[in-house]
Amino acid sequence: MTRKKIFVFLTGALFGMFASAAGVVFADDSALSVPFDQLRTFSEVFGRIQKDYVEPVSDQKILEDAIRGMLAGLDPHSTYLDPEQYNDLRVGTTGQFGGLGIEVGMENGFIKVISPIDDTPAQRAGVEAGDLIIRLDGKPVKGMTLEKAVKTMRGEPGSEITLTVVRGKEERPFTIKIVRDVIKIRSVRSRMVEDGYGYVRISSFQSRTGEGLRKNLRDLEEANNGKLKGLVLDLRNNPGGVLNAAVTVSDAFLTSGLIVYTEGRMEDSEFKYQATPNEILAGAPIVVLINAGSASASEIVAGALQDHKRAVIMGEKSFGKGSVQTVVPTSNGGAVKLTTARYYTPAGRSIQAEGIVPDILLSRVRLEELENPGIRPISESDLSNHLT
């Protein structure tokens, strides 16, 4: 029996941001069956392309494009990673890499911005959640794979790229110039907002975010000369990340009970995560801020604290990404990222395409929305082929 290491992910397509390895599990691939009769058609088409296509095409390109096509028809988050892309994904967990600083998904052949990341070139240039990118340096993205578009947006730090963007009810597309940079994600920041009350901002969930949260809370208590009276936990525009980090952050505010669980067809895709008695705030009240850019791991934290009635959730309905991606290395050095499970809150709620509904719903009060009422931010349910 052979076994392959596979990695569990919770985010969509990323560039200039972070990758999200949630840990390592093992899957038994010895019992996989291959429908040879159906593959005869594939073999016929493969041979016809090799023999008759107007220009020569390498076997590798034909096969990789076929794999991408298989996965593209499943859901927005299943995809093929060539060796370079797979390496970028693994390197991204360090929290330092080149790029723009946004998370994106594919929608009707165009690139949709799920969320810009704090203190990155994209955010500083004015990129917003829900923006539709239609051109990259003047070249249409229609017809590009998501991986190709992401690769195009990457580049040497200091180099410039021009995005052509459609936003809400703007009359016409406009351009945004961004200078690429090495993205150093500091996922946790904090400050005192008034006497006894702290504010913690988590912009992404990386492997050391839980550790960073506890350090920031200790710093706040030191600045306060004692325990906090209350805390604001800001998860707005946090697109997710490492599952274990979401569990660790949730656990910091709970004393017992279920945090999150996953269910899928694959035996190794089912997990349950329990809280431990090491609650750090000693029961002080918590307000969690979310919006339409809060996705995946952010929704795990908000859902767990909401179900345990440990925090009041305020803001907008969250993005609604409640699926788990498993990354399986392939023999050529690449990998297949395949949706293998859904995750559920302690009360059994599926977040997939539903999101977290705040206890206190706050409308988006922003100048452009006052000028253009009725604009709705993008959510998981807007993506083609999304899971229900």
Q: Residues 115, 190, 269, 296: which is the catalytic one?
A: 296
Q: Annotate 282-316 with b (16+ C-beta within 10 A) or e (fewer).
A: eebebbbbbbbbbbbbbbbbbbbbbbbebbebbbb
**Burial class (CB within 10 angstroms; exposed 0-12, middle 13-18, buried 19+) of 189:** middle
CA 286/CA 250 separation, integer angstroms: 12
SS3 track for 5-52:
EEEEECCCEEECCCCCCCCEEEEECCCCCCCHHHHHHHHHHHHHHHHH
CATH number reported for the structural domain that contains residue 294 in this entry: 3.90.226.10
pLDDT on residue 117: 83
Q: Residues 321, 337, 379, 382: which is the catalytic one?
A: 321
Q: Residues 307, 318, 379, 382: which is the catalytic one?
A: 307
pLDDT tens, position by position, 213-253: 999 999 999 999 999 999 999 999 998 988 899 999 999 99
End position of a domain, from candidates 184, 213, 248: 184
Does residue 180 sit in the same domain as residue 194? no
Cα end-to-end distance, the chain, whole Å: 34
Domain count, the chain: 3
Of 2, 6, 1, the C-alpha closest to 266 is 6
Catalytic-residue membership of 379: no
pLDDT tens, position by position, 106-133: 888 899 998 888 889 999 999 998 899 9
Determine if the pTM surpasses 0.75: no
> What are the φ and ψ backbone dihedral angles of 178, each rounded to 5 degrees?
-130, 135
Catalytic-residue membership of 321: yes
Does residue 163 sit in the same domain as residue 32? no
Q: Which residues are CB-contacts of 293 (< 8 A; sequence separation ≥ 6)?
A: 114, 115, 116, 129, 236, 237, 238, 239, 319, 377
pLDDT tens, position by position, 300-348: 999 999 999 999 999 999 999 999 888 899 999 999 999 999 999 999 9
Does residue 300 sit in the same domain as residue 354? yes
